Amino acid sequence: MKTENYCAKTSFIQRKNAASPDKKLVAIDIGYSSVKCCTDDSYYSFLSMARPVHGEMFGETNQKDIFYRDKSGTWRVGNSILSGMSVNDTSDSENTLYSRDRYESKMFKVIYLTGMGLCLLNEPDIENGNERPLYLQTGLPPAYLKSDKGDLVSVLSGDHSFEIKVGQKDWKTIQFTLPSDRVLVMPQPQGSLYSASLDNNCRHIQEAAGYFDSNILVLDPGFGTFDTFAIKNRQLVSSESFPDFGMRAVYKKLADEILLKYNEHVSVHSIPKILTSGYVQVLQKKPYNTKNEPIEKLLTECSFEICMKALETIRTAYDYLREFQYLLVTGGTGQAWLEHIKEYFEGLNQLKIITGNQNDNRLPQVFSNVRGYYLFLYGVLSRKGTGAP
């Protein structure tokens, strides 16, 4: 197991999806760990973190470095922040980064608009105010959908003007208007259900009818919550969000174990820095030296413990899954836990395990929800006869 597989990555992936000739469709999954974006010709992802840039910068930028700029100043966005971060960093509290009320924070707006900017980089008319109508699909954990939808839509919609810069390319001005009635929000796991059911041209695969006609349970272990979405004979019967399981719980457990074993205080939001390197640097004062201690074994143990607790909860909550024919596993954490999940449920002969990225398995699992968001949006507009082919 590579420790870096347990943290968000910066990805720029070219991929053709169903497209509308007279509209711009964008899907964004603004997670606590990473932002995932999808449009008609590409996918993007980056760490859900941004920091203001103070003072002069030196040297050349990396090709995947991302910068955002508006009237308030310049921000560095995503994974490149990690190289300059201390493992006991306190610049951001966990409450700031992982709170449900983060929508009004400047950082949230920066990472959202950066995602939109990446999706609009190749639009020839974007600097002239986005002449093509823009539509956005996103999602929320099922338990938060009713309470948080209004606040989220309020932040995402409206008039926006800013600049972004990727790598050594020039700054690009982005301007767009997004009315609130063009922002759609669905339960996050539902995105992966559509992703597992549709090909890249938004056509149902042969097996899709079986998913909806029988009983299917979607498991979407994310960073902040472990979400479920249960359908029985085409009817939604349950959607839950369990806040005590997911990658944040793994990070917290790992930070506690590092403190216990090495007496090193590590902030939860700096764990990706450690995972990227594969070790924690331990300081000894007598004799005065540092030592790099591998953390793969600790990570494996912490991840397995949280995964087992989550699966035991799911098993109890859904009556041992005896009534389900399909189990859909999705998301980055789902990919990390996939083999554990298969082993845990291998005795259920009636249960078939599928994945959210099965219709585009070159695409990492982390994009499953946002891929489904996009294809759902395209399908909705197409059925309404609003110009999509």
Query: What are 41-52's pLDDT values in tens digits?
Result: 999 999 999 999
Q: How many residues does the chain have?
A: 389
User: Mean pLDDT over all residues of the chain?
Assistant: 89
Q: What is the CA radius of gyration of the chain?
A: 21
The structural architecture, per CATH, of the domain 192-246+314-355 is 2-Layer Sandwich (3.30)
Please identify which residue in the block is written with the tokens 């999954």. 29
Q: 178 pLDDT exceeds 50? A: yes
Please determine whether the domains at 3-187+364-383 and 192-246+314-355 fall in the same fold group of CATH. yes
Q: Whole-angstrom Cα distance, residue 234 to residue 147?
A: 25
Q: Mean pLDDT, to the nearest integer, of 64-80?
A: 93
Q: 371 pLDDT exceeds 90? A: yes
Whether the full predicted model's pTM is greater than 0.95, yes or no, is no
Separation in Å, CA 386 to CA 12, 34, 40, 216, 383: 30, 32, 17, 31, 8
Domain boundaries, the chain: 3-187+364-383, 192-246+314-355, 247-299
Q: 311 pLDDT exceeds 80? A: yes
- Cα–Cα–Cα angle for 251, 92, 11, nearest 5°? 65
Concatenated DSSP letters for 93-140?
Answer: -HHHHH-TTGGGSHHHHHHHHHHHHHHHTT-TTGGGT--S-EEEEEEE
Residue range 3-187+364-383 forms a domain whose CATH class is alpha beta
Query: What are 99-137's pLDDT values in tens digits?
Result: 556 888 999 999 999 999 999 998 866 554 456 789 999
